[in-house]
Amino acid sequence: MSEVKGLTRQQMCDRLAMEFEDGWVVNLGIGIPTLCSNYDFGDKEIILHAENGVIGYGPLTGAGKEDLHLVNAGGQHVTLNPGAAIVDHADSFGLIRSGRIDVTVLGAYEVAANGDFANWKMAGQQGGGIGGAMDLASCARHVFIAMEQVTRRGAPRLVERCAIPVTARRVVNLVVTNYGLFEITPKGMALKEIAPGITVDEVKATSGCDLIVPTDLPTVRTRA
């Protein structure tokens, strides 16, 4: 497998975290999205929500500082912010299904130009379980996706149509990859910001759909 180019996974999640608005309740899915909790939100009050019932958590813990009883939905050890709560799994999903999640950040195998995304079953896989992603995609006010630009075999993850079972249709708002930040618009998928060291030709060559590319294309914003 070739070396990953462009943004690191933490930089990808930092960029999405910049879009969180003050007062938002933010669900972070398993995998890359969990790194959003490491972002310094400054004066913004952001309430991080995990499906397993941890509400109001903070950054991932460092080695040797873990509370073995305190994990996010991916089983990673996390810290708690002042005012945090631990609730029943059913109550956690009650928050999701009642529309109280402002944004969910999820991983995906594919995202289509019209906002469809697939993240629960790979091609040729037997079985599989859609899990909480179905509820989050249906009930959250915004859906952001964090994923690598291509698969381990070099196939595009940004596609015209999803070739594997879809999690939800026409719900994605923003996608960040190691190559850039993309927005789903009524006219299709738009490249909004490009990763340092990556060219527009490289983005196009690794995308399986047509992209809207502005003439004046900024570089992806990263924290200092």
Active site positions, annotated: 51
Instruction: Note whether 146 and 153 are within 8 A (CB).
Output: no
Run of H or E including 143: strand 142-146
Which residues, 6+ apart, have CB-to-CB distance to 9 below 8 Å?
Answer: 32, 35, 146, 178
DSSP state of 22: T
| R_g (Cα) of the chain, nearest Å | 17
Angle among Cα 104, 121, 98 to the nearest 5 degrees reads 30
Whole-number Å distance between alpha carbons of 7 and 12: 6
Q: What's the farthest any 2 CA atoms get from each other in the chain?
A: 51
Whole-number Å distance between alpha carbons of 31 and 153: 19
Instruction: Note whether 72 and 54 are within 8 A (CB).
Output: yes
Whole-number Å distance between alpha carbons of 27 and 151: 25
Reduced to 3 states (helix: H, G, I; strand: E, B; else coil), residue 112 is: strand
Instruction: Note whether 133 and 24 are within 8 A (CB).
Output: no
